[in-house]
Amino acid sequence: MARRPAVFIDRDGTLTEEVGYVNHPNRLRLLPRSAAAVRRLNEAGIAAVVATNQAGIARGYFSEDLMHAVHERLVESLKDAGAHLDGLYVCPHHPTEGAPPFRADCDCRKPKPGLLLRAARDLDLDLGDSTMVGDKASDLLVAPAVGARAVLVLTGYGRGEWEYRRENFSVAPDHVAADLLDAVDWVIGGMRTRVGGDMRTRVEGVWGEPKGPPIR
């Protein structure tokens, strides 16, 4: 069976509201239409994978246990809306702050590609047919490192990044989307164009059905 494409989703400002460091599960709230976006990926057989930097752990702002509690709330919120993630990958490191083992010059802190490479191995993903979606220029940088496309959303920091800082972007987005659902629609529309025919039929025939979510 051929490898599946994925949409890699930044968490804060892309999937959930940007509220600064999420130091309590109740502070995590899905953005409007985010659950619908993930559900649409589920229905299309495209892996929905969160890839997020959480340097608050290295900085001592919150613990690993709290981060897991926050992500349990995220998974439950999506489940209540009939959606699920295929994977959730986190970098807890910072190169200069905190103490080892979290103070580390790692390979997983975006824009380095470690999180995406790990997800591709775990989930048998086709990175060249995948897309990274985020609200910051730094999210876009990881895409060319793995041969993926890049989409900037205008939620979170995205509108300010696009309207006031885009001349400084090292990587131009392949698409600018109003939000995650708009980004997913663009991804699926492009795949229909490339493979031809009905997207659902092609996914069932080539990429298979989505599996349960390994949470990393």
Q: Are 72 and 33 in contact (CB under 8 A)?
A: no
Q: What tokens were used for 72?
A: 């349990």
SS3 call for 92? coil
pLDDT score, position 191: 81
Domain-located, residue 180: yes
* Distant-in-sequence, close-in-space partners of 150: CB < 8 Å, separation ≥ 6: 131, 132, 134, 139, 140, 143, 144, 171, 172, 173, 174
How many Å apart are CA 75 and CA 56, to the nearest integer? 20
Give the C-alpha separation, 71 to 11, whole Å.
Answer: 10
What integer pLDDT is reported at residue 192 of this predicted model?
67
Q: Residue 1 has what pLDDT?
A: 61
Tell me, yes or no, whether 110 lies in a domain. Answer: yes
Range of the domain at 131: 6-206
Q: Answer yes or no: is 10 within a domain.
A: yes
Identify whether 171 is part of a domain.
yes
Asked if residue 1 belongs to a domain, the reply is: no
| Structural domain includes residue 214 | no
Check which CATH number belongs to the domain holding 83 and give it. 3.40.50.1000
pLDDT at 190: 87
Residue 122 counted as domain residue: yes
Residue 216 is assigned to a structural domain of this protein: no
The answer to whether 26 and 12 have CB atoms below 8 angstroms apart is: no
12 is catalytic: yes
- Residue 193 confidence (pLDDT): 65
Number of domains in the chain: 1
**pTM greater than 0.85 (yes/no):** yes
Q: In what order do the strands lie in the sheet with 47-53?
A: 87-91, 47-53, 6-9, 131-134, 149-153, 175-177
pLDDT along the chain (216 residues), means of 10: 91 97 96 98 97 94 95 98 98 94 95 96 97 96 97 98 96 97 96 56 32 41
